[in-house]
Amino acid sequence: MDTRLEGKRAVVTQAADYMGPAIIELFREQGAEVYTDETVLRTPEAVENLLGSAGEIDILVANLAAPANFGVSAVDLGEEIWAEAFDLMVHPLYRLVRAVLPKMYERGSGKIVVVGSATGIKGMPELSAYSAARSAQVGYVRAVGLEAARHNVQINLIAQNWVENPAYFPPAFTETPAFKGLLEQQVPLGRLAEARESAQLALFLASSESDFFVGQSIPFSGGWAQ
């Protein structure tokens, strides 16, 4: 049995959402002790409570999702939608990383995997709040990844789209003729990725095999973003 994460303790945020279930299943198969949390980390106190109860962390998976609010133009975009995107996906990332880095620096090792979105590296019309928040994640990972590398801590991001998950691609949507036509038109590979495929990339980034990856935002979208 492959056990690439044997002896490692991982924390996965928003465990029931987005890519949480697939990542948790695969990490446990690979020998990791996985601490899960299903809360939405809107406040500094929520992050403090999570990390205070999680114990020593070798791997942080910042799995953060928010409503996409498709179809809202920049003119019609309200303050509430804009703020929510950053409150759910950007501010928690900053708080999580800031909290776990000191201990990782002390040990001289650690992995942080951010489950982001390809909309952070490829623009989409009428998706400005979500795209801006995802782009902020990319910029943060690029900058902090360089700092952390000096301490042998690797921070990287999965820039994914067109991957099955309950947050953005539930069966009720993906089984419609309209979605199938969109998939054929937009994705060169012509299919939706399985959740486990994205989880396998997260596994790679959480393992020692990715030690030379620093501050990367890796497109995972079947050719939609490059």
Q: Write out pLDDT tens, residues 43-80.
A: 999 999 999 999 999 999 999 999 999 899 999 999 99
Please check the confidence at residue 4 and state whether its pLDDT lies above 90. yes
Alpha-carbon span 24 to 34, nearest angstrom: 7
Alpha carbon distance 168, 176 (integer Å): 14
| Vertex 207: Cα angle to 192 and 219 (nearest 5) | 35
Task: Please write the tens of the pLDDT for every residue from 148-198.
Answer: 999 999 999 999 999 999 889 989 999 999 999 999 999 999 999 999 999
What are the angstrom distances between the C-alpha of 146 and each of 149, 156, 188? 5, 10, 32
Report the DSSP pairing between strands 59-63 and 153-160: unpaired
What are the tens digits of pLDDT across the range 9-56? 999 999 999 999 999 999 999 999 999 999 999 999 999 999 999 999
Which whole-number Å values give the CA distances from 153 to 7, 12, 77, in the listed order? Answer: 17, 17, 38
The pLDDT-based confidence of 2 (bands split at 50, 70, 90) is: confident
Rounded CA separation 175/24 (Å): 26
Instruction: Band the pLDDT of 143: cuts 50, 70, 90.
Output: very high
CA distances in angstroms from 7 to 4, 27, 33, 128, 149, listed in the order given: 9, 11, 7, 41, 22
- Position 181 scores a pLDDT of 94
d(CA 121, CA 204): 21
Q: Domains, the chain, ranges and CATH?
A: 9-220 (3.40.50.720)
